[in-house]
Amino acid sequence: DYAAALGRFAAGEVRVLIGTQMIAKGLDFPGVTLVGVLDADTALSQADFRSAERTFQLVSQVAGRAGRGTALGRVIIQTASPGEPAIQLAAAHDYETFAERELAERTRYGLPPSVRMARVICRDEDASKARTRALGLAERLKSSDVRVHGPAPCGVARIAGQHRIAVDVLGSSAAVVQAALLELRRNGLIT
């Protein structure tokens, strides 16, 4: 159905296409002159240091679908956070300013790419067992040369009946993070 709908849109049989994020990537229809982005700031509410980057990327990609032919394009962005730099800079197609700001923030707070990071996810049908295992891992990691964030529920806290609790491991280099994870493996705490 997806391919058929895109084919009809490309042929001009259909004049309006409504879809999810997946239509933002890789589509090139020269006749598109109007693109709307609804709830553009949804990703910003996720507890993930990459949320601004994802928001910028999605808005930029969707906005880039309009005006690819001879006619100019118009993009309308609906957001509850119009002053959010990720939204403002994406609307202005200002990647350089966004990247400079984002890299400065990540360096300031010791987040990738200024450090290396791994995420260990503990899963179990019983939420308390997953949390107990994650707490044990976090406690064990505190004696190594890494910083530990968490445990905390994953953004998608449950998949296929499994509760998911994350422990983030941050270190000054990949070798430091790998050494901490290797120690956990040697002790049978992760696979």
Please write the tens of the pLDDT for every residue from 132-185: 999 999 999 988 899 999 899 998 899 999 999 999 999 999 999 999 999 999
Q: pLDDT band for 69, please (50, 70, 90 cuts).
A: low
How far is Cα 121 from Cα 133, in angstroms, rounded to an integer? 10
Please write the tens of the pLDDT for every residue from 79-134: 998 899 999 999 888 999 999 999 999 999 999 999 999 999 999 999 999 999 99
Q: What SS3 class is residue 86?
A: helix
How far is Cα 69 from Cα 49, in angstroms, rounded to an integer? 36
Arithmetic mean of pLDDT over the chain: 88
pTM of the model: 0.78
- List 152's β-bridge partners, or say none: 166
| Cα-based distances in Å from 147 to 75, 133, 142, 153 | 42, 18, 7, 18
Q: pLDDT band for 32, please (50, 70, 90 cuts).
A: confident
